Amino acid sequence: MATQYATVEDYLAALPDDVQAVLRRVRQTVLAAVPDGAEKISYGIPTVTLNGKSVVYFSGWKSHVSVYPVPGGDDGLDQDMATYRAGKGTLKFPLSKPIPYELVGRVAAALAEQRRREGRPG
């Protein structure tokens, strides 16, 4: 059974130092892009929420970090994300290369905007 973490900080503290450092910066970047967001653990990984609804998830692995899901509807963003797509709904950033934090922020902002639109009355 996978380890269950009570907080995002618990999750981060359990990672190897190199992965932890990158994921802490991913966390900062996501929270800066979603300043009205809150944090929780969902599906066993850190999640940023808006109004109690999940917006963006991120996780650390031995050789990469991942951000989920992948926003749609922006051709420029789609092009910029193409290199990092791993499956339909995952962006995978290898730790062996510089992490495109600016892109992570754009992804988080796009996901937050999609969530805000979904929450508005039609």
Does the reported pTM lie above 0.85?
Answer: yes
pLDDT band per the 50, 70, 90 thresholds, residue 72 = confident
Between CA 87 and CA 79 the distance in angstroms is: 15
Contact status, residue 64 vs residue 97, Cβ threshold 8 Å: no
pLDDT tens digits along 5-22: 999 999 999 999 999 999
What pLDDT, on a 0 to 100 scale, did the predictor assign at position 1?
A: 42
Look at domain 8-119 and name its CATH class: alpha beta
Q: Where are the domains of the chain?
A: 8-119
Q: At what angle do helices 17-33 and 101-119 cross, to 10 degrees?
A: 40
pLDDT tens digits along 30-64: 999 999 999 999 999 999 999 899 999 999 999 99
Query: What are φ and ψ of residue 64, in 5° steps?
Result: -160, 165
Residue 93: both structure tokens together = 């950033």
What lies within 8 Å, CB to CB, of 78 at 6+ separation is 72
* Residue 104 exposed, middle or buried by CB count within 10 Å (0-12, 13-18, 19+): buried
